[in-house]
Amino acid sequence: MSSASVVIAAGGTGGHVFPGLALAAALGKYGNVATVFAGTPRGFESKLVPAAGHELELFDVVPIMGGGVEQATRGGLSAARALSHAIEFLRRRAPRAVVSIGGYASGPVSLAATMLGIPVAIVEPNSVMGLANRILAPLARRIYLAFDRARPSFARAGTSDRVRLSGVPLREGFTPRPSSATNALRRVLVLGGSQGAQALNDRLPEALGRVAERLGGLDVVHQAGEGRDGPVRDAYVRSGLAGGRVRVVPFSTELADDLAWADLVVARAGAGTIAEIAAVGRPSLLIPFPSAADDHQAKNAEVYADAGAAVWVRQASADSARIASEVSRILGDDALRASLARGAEAQGRPEAARTIARDLLQLLEVS
């Protein structure tokens, strides 16, 4: 058994970066492992990874899809350059493994690792297998799933013996937390993901204003996204909810505590977000991002709703009136809220980072 370095390819949104940071912390805690991240200059990783004390290798990768022939050409050329960069980077660092969690750099880095004979592990946080993982799955030594529903897709790729059901790696603090029974007012936490969600920013102030009128007031924390908090704050003023009862922030730096504070969470259905909600054990109203690849957020929400862990509404149906109706229904029914909280906690896997780290260390024979 010996020390090692591991490359974690995780970038773009907080839904990729935070699980990568959680896994890096667990690898450092349970094994003699140095972690290096691979990402791009434009993602959350460019700030979060160095701030956490980890080295970050930046790759210039742009999307291939979504912009016609010109975008496809630019994306293809950038991918080719990134692959060459990744081969040089991996030869220089000689890691024992590459862990792909997602983001534009994950494809070139994982492909380069395979070409060089470096083991690749995949973390699939969603209930449906993404395009990059469909390509990488046959090449991976380990595949860590957050949803058992994704297992058949990987089985069809001939990888059943390499699949482990682990959950999404989470940072410290996301553990079951009892709900306070002494709230003077019901408390609602709004989460649009690490970048915010314009639809939630537009609709929640009016919706929660209506709920506050029905229930005699609310306490609200609303994560609006970088540069979006000002207009959302103004919208709450117009709704009649303002002052000390509403806190609008660009980004929550104490999300585990904010979740523990809440009686209800209104959120997108990104894999990281719902894993954090479940780990703390909170009822939620999920409004999936309708343009997510393969509609994976709706499928995530459906899994949680089928398990009695959440209520979900498609964005097309979730106008302010519908949101107000659902929030009022959940907050007004103690038994329903308690049932959703129990269902969420049953879905939670707060130990996922530790589970993945220990299995990966055993695979690599690193202590």
According to the model, what pLDDT value does residue 108 have?
Answer: 92
Domain 4-170+350-364 has CATH 3.40.50.2000: yes
Beta bridge partners of 4: 33
Query: Exposed, middle or buried, 95 (CB in 10 Å: 0-12/13-18/19+)?
Result: buried
pLDDT tens-digit map of 286-329: 999 999 888 999 999 999 999 999 999 999 999 999 999 999 99
Name which of 193, 182, 148, 122 is nearest 359 in CA terms.
122
Q: What angle do CA 191, 193, 194 make, to 5 degrees?
A: 120
The answer to whether 280 touches 264, Cβ cutoff 8 Å, is no
Q: What angle do CA 244, 246, 249 make, to 5 degrees?
A: 115
User: Which amino acid is present at 62?
Assistant: V
Same fold, 4-170+350-364 and 187-347: yes
Answer yes or no: pTM beyond 0.85: yes
Task: Specify the 3-state DSSP secondary structure of 199.
Answer: helix
Average pLDDT of 181-209? 87
- Tokens encoding 159: 């990888």
Q: How confident is the model at residue 60 (pLDDT cuts 50, 70, 90)?
A: confident
More confident residue, 62 or 94: 94
Domain 187-347 has CATH 3.90.550.10: no
According to the model, what pLDDT value does residue 76 have?
Answer: 63
What residue spans define the domains of the chain? 4-170+350-364, 187-347
Question: What mean pLDDT is reported for the chain?
Answer: 90
Q: What angle do CA 66, 71, 72 make, to 5 degrees?
A: 90
Per-residue pLDDT for 367 more than 50?
yes
Q: What residues contact 113, with CB distance under 8 A and at least 6 apart?
A: 7, 86, 90, 95, 97, 98, 119, 120
- Tokens encoding 241: 């909810």
